[in-house]
Structures are given as C-alpha cells and as structure tokens.
Amino acid sequence: MSNYLMNKNNNVFDWIDPFFDGFFSHDTNTNGLMRTDIIDANDHYELHIDLPAIKKENIKVSLADGYLTVSVNYSENNEEKKDGKYLRRERQYGSYSRTYYVGDQIKEDGIHAKLEDGVLTLNLVKPVEPEKKGKRYIEIE
C-alpha cells in the first residue's frame, strides 16, 4: 500500500477523510446502517459492525483484491390481525453492503467473524513483518 494513503500511525483505515467516507468506502448503505468501530489491537484489527435484528445466515463476508465486503440480505414482516382481517401488513425486503479497503495489511487466512447481540465482530490478523535489521559488520579472523 502506498505510504501517502497511510497516516502517521500506519493505520490502513485512517487514510479516509471522514468527509469522503461514504464515497471511498464504497458504502451502498444509505440509512446509516452498518455503523462500524475499527480498533487497532497491535497484532490485529477489530471491526465492530452494528447489524441489529440480522441473523448470521443472512450475512456474507468476503475478501477480494484488498477489499473486505460485508453484505446483508434482510426481510421484515410486520402484521397485525383483528378478527381475521388485516389492519396493517407491511413487508420490507432488501440488501445492503459495505466495503472496507484493507489492501495487503491483513492475513487472508487470519479473518475471524462472530455475531453476538446484533454486533458483527471481525478480527483481521495483521501479517507478521520480518524483523528489520540494521547494518551488520562482519568480524574478520
């Protein structure tokens, strides 16, 4: 990833200016859904994504070409009956997704997901960087 996209802390998620967040994050969500907290936990990133009332079988998480995408399909059925006649019947069906650019800053096989209490938690393991060594002098015998 280019250095000009990284901030001074080398946090891959911080390069997006909040003003452009919706544009650069490829956020197709227009209702403020999928609000996300991103935590840099030294050896991994944690994403906490709000997905209230969504079942885990309706969530798909994918990684392709440096983009992590969370997609949701939902259906909601609210109905009220009184003596066999509907007073109100509303259904909502749809899908939405949000994409996060992670580049090569995570291990592809180091992604773990858990859904609990309407919050999807993704742990993204950072790759282990080889230790940078300075100049070494070799002793002559």
pLDDT score of 76: 67
Q: Alpha-carbon distance 22 to 24, whole Å?
A: 6
Question: Could you confirm whether domain 3-125 is CATH 3.60.21.70?
Answer: no
User: pLDDT-derived band of residue 127, with 50, 70 and 90 as boundaries?
Assistant: confident
> 53: phi > 0 → left, psi -120 to 50 → alpha, else beta; which?
left
Poorest-confidence range of 20-24, 40-44, 100-104, 119-123? 20-24
pLDDT score of 109: 87
- Residue with more model confidence, 110 or 1: 110
Q: What is the pTM of this model?
A: 0.63
pLDDT score of 130: 63
